[in-house]
Structure 1
Amino acid sequence: MVSLVVVAVFLLQGPLFQPPQAEAFKILPTDDSLTHQQITEAAFLRKMVEVCRNVATVRGKDFALPINSKLTVTTVQKACSNSYSSSLKLSTFNLAIIQTSLSNAAVDLKVFSTAHHFDDEDFINGRDLITQGVAAVKVSIKNGNYLSARSILGAVCHTLQDFYSHSNWVELGSTAPFNSLIKPELPLNNLASSNTKTCKSCVGEDCSDNILPEVLQQKMLTSGYFHLLIPDKPAGKCSHGSALDRTSSTEPTGGINKDDISSDHGFLHQQAAEMAIKATMELLENIRLATGDQDFLRLMGLSQTSVLAFVIDTTGSLSNYIADAKRVSMSIIDSRRGTSEEPSEYILVQFNDQDFGLLIRTGDADKFKEQINSLSASDSVNPGMCLSGLLLTLTRAPPSSDIFVFTDASAKDTELKSSAEAMIESTKSKVTFLLTNSTSTRSRQNVSLSRSLSQSEIQLYRDLAHVSGGQTIDVTNTTLSQATAVITDLITADLVTVLQAARNPPKAENFSFLLDPTLSNVTVYITGDSPVFTLYSPTGVSQSGSVADGPLGSILTVGNLKRVKLNSANHAGEWKISINSTSSYNLRVTGQSSVDVLFYFVKIVEGGHGDSWGQSFTRPFIGRNATFYVSVTGGDSFTVTDVLLVEASGSDVVSGTIKAVGATDFLVNIDRIPEWAFVVQLKGLLNDSSLVNRFQRQSPTQHKGSRITVMAQSQNITKPGVPLSLNFTVATNTTSGNYTIRARNDQGFSVSFPRFLILETGGSAQGSVTLTAPSNTESGTDVTLTIEAEAPGSTDLNYVTLQLTVSTANAIFSGCYSLSVCLSFFCFIVCHFVCF
């Protein structure tokens, strides 16, 4: 709740200057003050305790967890799981809080918007932002877009919370939140008029009595005026206050904000913070009543929201291929029917050698199976538009979806490989390829129509699967049941990655990995044409890859994949595996655990009152330093000892410097982003009473840096039927030539953009993307727009992702902002950084 106005001054260094593309908020609260993040988390936890207590009461169960300041994500999740008689998800609950908090912080970049912060007595527009935002949240939930709903919710919460710090609501003696802010049908009464004087000057630094007595007596509502650059304000009006509020030096001097305990009205900070928590809880209750408990649980991340997607090649020969694809698809669907892991939605995209799509999305498993059964293969043996179909799925499916691609041929559109990698990286969805290219899958009379794959063509699929943390599996009639078993493993709940590595070209190597007591169903996957391996336990027991059932586990072979299921005996400690192969291979170690790690690259903004940080929506710049945020789930306290960037296809490592910003949250600084693609690996200690054990986790998704910067105009609203033009800039310090531009959105809206921009070495170029939502688009619909720039020869690629909302209103309320004000030779990145 620390109010902070940050002016970060950067020297403009030619075309490569890039203002922070991130939301920002203070890393640590000062003294006993509360930040927006802490207020939001407290409201989430308290509201979930209320909901779960009500459910327990209805079901005749005890619920003893009290509402207090000691609630944690872990304790609330466990208590709620008991209420619902099922295991509600811990990692996604934590993720929902983080996503909402990041969006909350983004609003502070709206430095000159009085409505977003209830500055300058802008109560009507501020209330409109909240009510229109709540309506958009409900639309997003209705459409199953929970990530977007959290993004909008976080922005709305910020504005709502700012009201209690920036207005005089608390000074008026109010004991409950101002309901009119979330209920548009209620009037906004007793607002101070534009010519009503509201404050007198503070006495020195004492502002405890600067609101005029008649304002308090008449219960008139006012808020402080704020401006970063000029001191002007209407005569007799209160100021926000702070060293960087220029209006606070104009009569009447001082301010009334309660952003932290050192603010002008900091003596009321705790009251304002508690009021903001209660108001946020009321907002959440409004959404819960409108959407129902099940959808509300999904919004909060406590209930299943997974999506299972199939991308199927229908450009097949007259063979058993399409029948194989159908059988495997049905097996995957049926393996989850009626279980707690049943997907909330299914997606189907088909492609052939001429076209791709239409995307089919449904929550009805039986209807989805009917769609799959209706597929038929053509007689063509030409390569299909596989990557186009995959890109459509990645764009339209929610983040972290499980995507299965069925094909028996090479990709016709290999030029889209970099784009597919970027979308996988951005969405963190897992892609598994099921290849049915063997002649054993086809009848003898149709062998001439077979579309067998070369090693280089297979390697493209393996590369994409590895980037996502997925697999590439050969599927035949004889291995169908085994392949289905492996696929079932891949979509198991609470799946975490312990280790993932690839070697291309191949090399003999010894790998080590840590297993901890929280892990169950530990599985080792080795994918390659000729891998020879030996597994070693912490006690020195070994098992060769040629032994199907041994002392350490059972080995299943499916085409080019070997799956080692470790025995359920105590396996904690350091394991080793030695692998030798004459061809490229992948190694992956997974298990089920409540202990998982969330990674977000962030930007750091330095300011006069401390550092702030926020999520980055683009690739980091190669050779420069970078910071990422790490949150460990599954407990209330962890010690992180090592965070590394590990080469995805090699053994190079870049170490990070770790700074704890909470019991389970950490910021990690990297001195330089490497040239090579990498995964993030974390090692630490599990702290559980007297039990301390080492653990290891790794990001399943592969990342990479770039020497291209892509900057987009700040805009986050579009109107139905009205074209919206967004300017963007591409800059580079390396390759000159024609840069390929691509733009796509997750709603399938019409979009136009230049196909190429010409750049000189060390230069930049500008373009414009025009997005048009259909005139019948429902107000509140959200859309994610991604703009890509790819260097000549596909040697490098970067992107920027923007969140927009379709609205018939004029208010702007969704998530990601970037504001730059250029003056002379300096560029001032202005962040009205109010932690509360």
Structure 2
Amino acid sequence: MICLVFYGVLTGLLVGSARGFLPNSFSAIDINDYTHTDITEIGILKAVAKFFEENPVQACRDCSAGALTGITDITARRLYDQYYGGVVSEKRFQEAIDDIVKQNNKVDQDHYAEAAWHFNGEQIQQSNNKMQTLRDTLLSILNNTNPNYDAARELVGQYLHLLQMFYSNTNWVEIATSSGSSGIIYKPLGIAGQSIMAAAPPSIDTCRSCGSSLSTDCATNLIVAANLLTSGYKSGQDIAKPAKDPASFSEGKCSHGGPRDASSTLQAALGGINKDSNDAGYSPHHHLHDRAAELAIEHTRVFFEDESSMGKDIAAVQNKTAEIVSETAGTPNAPYNYILVTFNDPGNQTTVQKTTNPADIQRWLGEIKVHGGDDCPEFSLTGIQAASTVAMPNSNVFVFTDATPKDPQKINYITSLITEKKLRYIGIS
């Protein structure tokens, strides 16, 4: 559910030395560079725009396919104006994006010299392991009864930093481009149970020298096989580039490259492969900067869609409801009637539907359209109160929600009502 992470507090931009894409516009080398801030924000906005298109509200000026995802120079304000008709503020949504961006950029500050936090030094598997751990921890937090959303946003920012570094610092973009699949993101990345391509072993040279000075054309310096991943070594990090005298050797491990990487001018192979910037003096593979950024944006979007799909939640509710109904249908334990209560924000949008036909419940669930997502706490206790009021004594009440209550003041009344009517509440996660 999108609201699980899109809810935050105000933050400023972090300026510092980057280990891949640069943090923000203040640290960009070229005016047209994509930064971590750009990639994260655009990726989130594209994910939400697609969600909005699939779940339109009445106020939406145009929610047809491509109308929101195709907004030129998309911003939270432009997206909200078109979706909500200009009557809903994007402030809290933007604050949540800013918080995730902050945590993304903070990795450069907290883990400056650790190659595995940046997919550097051929720490491919180690970096992927970090991503898997971050994602598993994130899902564990979000599945708690009372999720810690601050911790969740921190994990999301860290995960996205690693994800975006994969495209800037490894040779995946070069592999995809040479195979004619330049628009394909690397989906196994960071997913538990998914194996990834092997990294080049220590014994294999991965680059040839492409010049001892900056602004040298390094477009063809990769020599590693197309079925192996590699990444550049960077001076000052905890994984040192294997030493090879450039006067004697023209091939060796790849460097990260650029003015902040001494290994790129002191150890063979000279040069580098980073795609951090459009500037040739900063990024030896500057010609692939835009392509790397586009893939990083697309993968950022896919991450939020995978983690935030309310459609999957609705399908899970439908399947679980069908299972519950089928267990009692046609037996002496079948209930007299079935009641479906839905709640929304604001609380006056709570609906109650009753039927004696179990098929109606599945049909009603199939007609549910979800929308919004900028404000996570919902009027869940208002919904529970409505269900408790209309339910017959001794009924089983099944509650499906992943949102914290916005109406906790109702808890005492609801508890009394449940006790009086001897209702049995069963939470479904």
Report the equivalent of 2:172.
Answer: 169
Report the equivalent of 1:221.
Answer: 229
Of 157, 182, 198, the match for 2:160? 157
Report the equivalent of 1:278.
Answer: 298
CA distance in 2, matches of 1:62, 1:26: 31
How far apart are residue 140 of structure 1 and its match? 2.9
* 8 A contact 1:226–1:246 mirrored in 2: yes
Report the equivalent of 2:354.
Answer: none
Counterpart check, 1:305 vs 2:325: no
Report the equivalent of 2:97.
Answer: 97
* 8 A contact 1:164–1:273 mirrored in 2: yes
Counterpart check, 1:366 vs 2:386: no
Greater share of residues in strand: 1
* 8 A contact 2:255–2:272 mirrored in 1: yes
1:222-237 pair list within 5 angstroms: 222-228=230-236, 232-234=240-242, 236-237=252-253
CA distance in 2, matches of 1:69, 1:195: 48
Paired residue secondary structure (2:56):
helix
CA distance in 1, matches of 2:239, 2:404: 54
Report the equivalent of 1:248.
Answer: 264
1:508-523 pair list within 5 angstroms: none
Report the equivalent of 1:147.
Answer: 150
Of 205, 211, 218, the match for 1:207? 218
Q: Which runs of 5+ in 2 are unaligned?
A: 1-14, 245-251, 315-343, 346-370, 386-402, 418-429
**1:233-280 deviations in Å (ceiling 9; x for gaps):** 125110111222122121111110000011111111000000100111
How far apart are residue 25 of structure 1 and its match? 5.4
Paired residue secondary structure (2:164):
helix
* 8 A contact 1:224–1:257 mirrored in 2: yes
Report the equivalent of 1:802.
Answer: none
Q: Normalised by the size of structure 1, how large is the TM-score?
A: 0.32
1:803-818 pair list within 5 angstroms: none
1:562-577 pair list within 5 angstroms: none
1:672-683 pair list within 5 angstroms: none
Counterpart check, 1:239 vs 2:238: no
How far apart are residue 185 of structure 1 and its match? 2.0
Letter in 2 for 1:184: A
Counterpart check, 1:259 vs 2:263: no
Paired residue secondary structure (2:172):
coil
Paired residue secondary structure (2:173):
coil
CA distance in 2, matches of 1:58, 1:138: 32
**1:277-303 deviations in Å (ceiling 9; x for gaps):** 011111111201389679xx99x9943
Report the equivalent of 2:35.
Answer: 35
* 8 A contact 2:113–2:238 mirrored in 1: no
CA distance in 2, matches of 1:88, 1:59: 10
Letter in 2 for 1:27: F
* 8 A contact 1:226–1:239 mirrored in 2: yes
**1:169-209 deviations in Å (ceiling 9; x for gaps):** 11112431111113222211242112111001113522122
How far apart are residue 106 of structure 1 and its match? 0.4
CA distance in 1, matches of 2:75, 2:57: 22
How far apart are residue 33 of structure 1 and its match? 0.4
Label 1:88 to 1:6 Cα distance change in 2 as closer, same or farther (>3 A): closer
Paired residue secondary structure (1:160):
helix
Report the equivalent of 1:185.
Answer: 193
Letter in 1 for 2:140: V
Greater share of residues in helix: 2
**1:559-584 deviations in Å (ceiling 9; x for gaps):** xxxxxxxxxxxxxxxxxxxxxxxxxx
**1:337-390 deviations in Å (ceiling 9; x for gaps):** xxxxxxx646xxxxxxxxxxxxxxx966532446799xxxxxxxxxxxxxxxxx
CA distance in 2, matches of 1:200, 1:252: 5
CA distance in 2, matches of 1:92, 1:293: 24
CA distance in 2, matches of 1:221, 1:231: 17
CA distance in 2, matches of 1:301, 1:132: 29
CA distance in 1, matches of 2:124, 2:18: 24
Label 1:301 to 1:198 Cα distance change in 2 as closer, same or farther (>3 A): farther
CA distance in 1, matches of 2:171, 2:293: 13
Report the equivalent of 1:65.
Answer: 68
How far apart are residue 26 of structure 1 and its match? 5.7
Letter in 1 for 2:411: K
Label 1:42 to 1:246 Cα distance change in 2 as closer, same or farther (>3 A): same
Q: Which runs of 5+ in 1 are unaligned?
A: 8-23, 309-329, 334-343, 347-361, 374-836
Report the equivalent of 2:397.
Answer: none
Report the equivalent of 1:569.
Answer: none
Report the equivalent of 1:123.
Answer: 124
Higher-Rg structure is 1
Report the equivalent of 1:633.
Answer: none
How far apart are residue 219 of structure 1 and its match? 3.2
CA distance in 2, matches of 1:269, 1:146: 33
How far apart are residue 229 of structure 1 and its match? 7.1
Paired residue secondary structure (1:180):
coil
Q: Normalised by the size of structure 2, how large is the TM-score?
A: 0.61
CA distance in 1, matches of 2:290, 2:159: 21
CA distance in 2, matches of 1:303, 1:289: 14
Letter in 2 for 1:253: L
Letter in 2 for 1:118: F
* 8 A contact 1:200–1:210 mirrored in 2: yes
Structure 1 vs Structure 2: percent identity of aligned residues? 27
Label 1:281 to 1:220 Cα distance change in 2 as closer, same or farther (>3 A): same
